[in-house]
Amino acid sequence: MNIYVLLKQTFDTEERIVITNGEISDDGVKYVINPYDEYAVEEALRQKEQHGGTVIVLSVGPERSAEALRTALAMGADEAVLIMDARIPADEFSVSRVLAAYLGKQSPDLILGGNFSVDSGGGQIAVRISRLLGLPHVSSIIKLDISGMNAEVQRDSEGDTETVQVSLPALFTAQQGLNEPRYPSLPGIMKAKKKPFQTLSLDDLGLDDTEIAPKTRRLSLALPPARKAGQIMKGDLAEQAAQLVQLLRTDAKLI
Amino acid sequence: MSHAYVVVAEVRAGALRQVTLEALHAVSLLKEEGDSAAAVLIGSQITPLASELAEYLDGEVHVLDHPALENYNAEAYFEALTQVLGTLNPHTVVFGHTAIGRDLAPMVAAHLNAGQISDITAIQNTGTTASFTRPIYAGKAFEQKQFTDGPRVITIRPNNIPTAAKAANPATIVETEYSPAVDLKSVIKDVVRKTSGKVDLTEAKFVVSGGRGVKSAEGFKPLEELADVLGGAVGASRGACDAGYCDYAMQIGQTGKVVTPEIYIACGISGAIQHLAGMSQSRVIIAINKDPEAPIFKVADYGIVGDLFEVVPLLTKEFREILVSS
């Protein structure tokens, strides 16, 4: 089975955001595999362990993204592909077209991605790719069982669980609860260094920048207004509870 | 030139979702003189809801009512929706940023070769250009975006944009014939509604949330009672989910859901950065924690230092009394 995993490198979720000169500062930031994509990598490895095949991890991003791909190789993925080109705009229309141009030339049986990325949070790219490739997809999955060329998945829909049967090839996006990602092992890290790692440009994909011209652009960036520490209630707990509910009624007028 | 605005309406538990009325308001913020508005309602036995929806917009309500559309299926809904969009030639398609909207919108965007701006919390329209505010890093920062080219697809975050007022002239209802495709590659086998009768976390006006301090699945009981009294929903921190006290569907934070209720009550949550990202845009934050040094108090409007198992039942009692008397 040919398994492709869409992966993005993101800030660690414990990072604070600092804006310098209108841009998000990456000074001293710790990067990770987008947590939802990490579930996708883990699921790809588990499916390979059960059914055999190859796991190829794929990313569009700057040079530093190679580190996230190396981590996925160390977890057990077989090959990595980094599409790196300064002409690729940070717009979901553009990035999905780049990825679809690559995937359209492969023969994927299974494509896995994260439900959304914890940085830009648009949640568009994987689903767009399924349409561009004409493949069925199920998003936000919490269980994946494959038998032959059929998959039975469970999808989380705002807390409800839907069971869906899909024929492969298909694309799925991972939700929390799908699995518990493994840590790269020391031998895994050593082996990762020798695994195939391809770096591609737009030219390699036969794309020119007019085909991926962005549809949206960012005008500005701001931090949310800082919240001030409020009022700590006093007295015994029963008094505090009464005082709080009273304040919600009189001050905040929310009750 | 006249532009067509289309809202993709949503039904939940037999009723129109509030976010659909918010999407209609978004259209009224964007629409110019001479533009048209339409809503598309997809489902089974939903025709009565179409008349209700029609009261909120001056335009057309397109209805695709078929037993095969009872449960959401990405392929079937996409086929049904694009059938109508093909005739409307939309300039802007508006979805709620919900389980269905998040899934359908990128499909439609790819189909229309359109740009998409997701998870919008505010709209600014100067008449010549519209810009859209959306959170990034789950609300640790906000960006303003603009379309450089059409058509446009947007998803709006529930609870942030006001709901539409009733229209002077109700919309015309247009029933569209739907014949289920025979060659669908995906089939819905089963739907387990774990949340029936409950308020959705992202749409809830009141959220009571538990962290590691709840100590067990049982520990969520008092939080559920408080949420029931308030007519709200129960959420959780990553700590509580990772510890197995609750379902990941309840997780609030940078991984998980972002909520913006009127009142957020954090019980036994220390306030890790990744959790704060998911709730710090709530209107009023209340923190209950044994540790007076917990970072959650730095963002809370009101705090009670104490054991949640003592405090939460006291609050439930107070709220119940005040809500009954009012």
Non-local (6+) Cβ contacts of A199 within 8 A are: A66, A81, A82, A83, A84
**Residues B22-63 pLDDT 10s:** 999 999 999 999 999 999 999 999 999 999 999 999 999 999
Q: What is the pLDDT of residue B199?
A: 81
Q: What is the CATH number of domain B201-325?
A: 3.40.50.1220
The answer to whether B312 and B223 have CB atoms below 8 angstroms apart is yes
d(CA B65, CA B138): 36
CB pairs < 8 Å spanning A and B: 268
The amino acid occupying position A24 is: I
Q: How far does the CA of residue B51 sit from the closest CA of chain A (Å)? A: 27
pLDDT digits (tens, 9 = 90+) for A123-180: 999 999 999 999 999 999 999 999 999 999 999 998 889 999 999 999 999 999 999 9
**Nearest residue in B to A218, CA atom:** B145
pLDDT at A75 over 80: yes
Please give the share of chain A, as a percent, with pLDDT higher than 70.
100
Give the nearest partner residue to A214 out of B72, B148, B248, using CB atoms: B148
Number of Cβ within 10 Å of residue A251's Cβ equals: 12
Contacts of A91 in chain B (CB under 8 A): 115
Task: Say if CB A212 and CB A218 are below 8 A apart.
Answer: no
Q: pLDDT tens-digit profile of B56-111? A: 999 999 999 999 999 999 999 999 999 999 999 999 999 999 999 999 999 999 99
Annotated ligand binding at B196? The verdict is: no
- For domain A2-200, is the CATH number 3.40.50.740? no
Whether the CB-CB separation of A161 and A155 falls below 8 Å is answered with yes
**Residue carrying structure tokens 């009294």:** B229
Which of B212, B218, B263 has its CA nearest to residue B237? B212
Give the tokens for residue A59.
């990313």
Give SS3 for A99. helix
Contact in structure between B94 and B28 (CB atoms under 8 Å): no
A155 strand-pairing partners: A141, A162
Cα nearest neighbour of B147 on chain A: A216
**What is the pLDDT, as a whole number, of residue B196?**
62
3-class secondary structure, A205: coil
| C-alpha span between B38 and B304 (Å, rounded) | 48
SS3 of residue B31 by DSSP: coil
- Say if residue B288 carries a ligand binding annotation: no
pLDDT averaged over every residue in chain B: 94
A162:B118 CB<8 A: no
- Where does the pLDDT of residue B127 fall: very low under 50, low under 70, confident under 90, or very high at 90 and above? confident
pLDDT tens figures, B195-207: 666 788 988 999 9
pLDDT in the model for residue A228: 80
Question: So what's the pLDDT on residue B197?
Answer: 67
Query: For position B87, what pLDDT does the model report?
Result: 95
Please answer yes or no on whether B186 and A119 come within 8 Å at the CB atom: no
- Answer yes or no: is pLDDT of B318 > 80: yes
Q: Give B150-175 pLDDT, tens digit per residue.
A: 899 999 999 999 999 999 999 999 99
Interface of B with A in 90-109 (CB under 8 A): 98-100, 102-103, 105-107, 109
Residue type, A228: K
Interface test with B, best of A18, A97, A160, A212 (most B CBs within 10 A): A160
Q: What is the Cα–Cα distance from B251 to B256, expressed in whole angstroms?
A: 5
Instruction: Name the residue ranges covered by the structural domains of chain B.
Output: 4-175, 201-325
Q: Which DSSP state fits B266?
A: E
**A174-204 tens-digit pLDDT:** 999 999 999 999 999 999 999 999 999 999 9
Task: State the best of A117, A209, A219 to mutate against chain B, taking most chain B CBs within 10 Å.
Answer: A219
Rg of the Cα atoms in chain A: 22
Confirm whether residue B118 is marked as ligand binding.
no
Instruction: Note the residue count of chain A.
Output: 255
Asked whether the beta carbons of residue A119 and residue B314 sit closer than 8 angstroms, the reply is: no
> Cβ A160–B102 below 8 Å, yes or no?
no
φ, ψ for residue A170, nearest 5 deg? -155, 165
Q: What is the mean pLDDT of residues B200-225?
A: 95
Residue B230 C-beta-side C-alpha neighbours within 13 Å: 30
Owner of token pair 């809830």: B204
CB spacing of B149 vs A215 below 8 angstroms: yes
- The pLDDT of residue A226 is 84
**B173 labelled binding-site residue:** no
pLDDT for A255 beyond 80? no
Residues B45 and B36 sit within 8 Å (Cβ to Cβ):
no
Dump the DSSP string for A27-73: TTPPEEE-HHHHHHHHHHHHHHHHH--EEEEEEES-TTHHHHHHHHH
Determine the 3-state secondary structure of A193 from DSSP.
Answer: coil
> Nearest-CA residue of chain A relative to B199?
A158
Q: In chain A, which residue's Cα lies nearest the Cα of B288?
A: A232
Q: What is the pLDDT, as a whole number, of residue B194?
A: 78
Residue ranges per structural domain of chain A: 2-200, 230-255
Secondary structure, 3-state, B131-177: EEEEEEHHHCEEEEEEECCCCEEEEECCCCCCCCCCCCCCCEEEECC
As a whole number of angstroms, the distance between CA A75 and CA A55 comes to 11
Rounded-to-integer distance, Cα B306 and Cα B325, Å: 27
pLDDT score of B326: 67
Residue B251 has pLDDT above 80, yes or no: yes
Examine the pLDDT at B182 and tell me if it is beyond 80.
no
Instruction: Enumerate the residues of chain B whose CB falls inside 8 A of the CB of residue A164.
Output: 73, 186-189
Residue A254 has pLDDT above 90, yes or no: no
Mean pLDDT of chain A: 96
Would the CB atoms of B248 and A175 count as touching at under 8 Å? yes
Domain topology for B4-175: Rossmann fold (3.40.50)
Contact (Cβ atoms closer than 8 angstroms) between residue B239 and residue B255 = no
pLDDT at A207 over 80: yes
Longest Cα–Cα distance in chain B: 63
Which residue from A117, A58, A99, A39 is spatially nearest to B110, judged by alpha carbons? A99
Q: What pLDDT does A49 receive?
A: 98
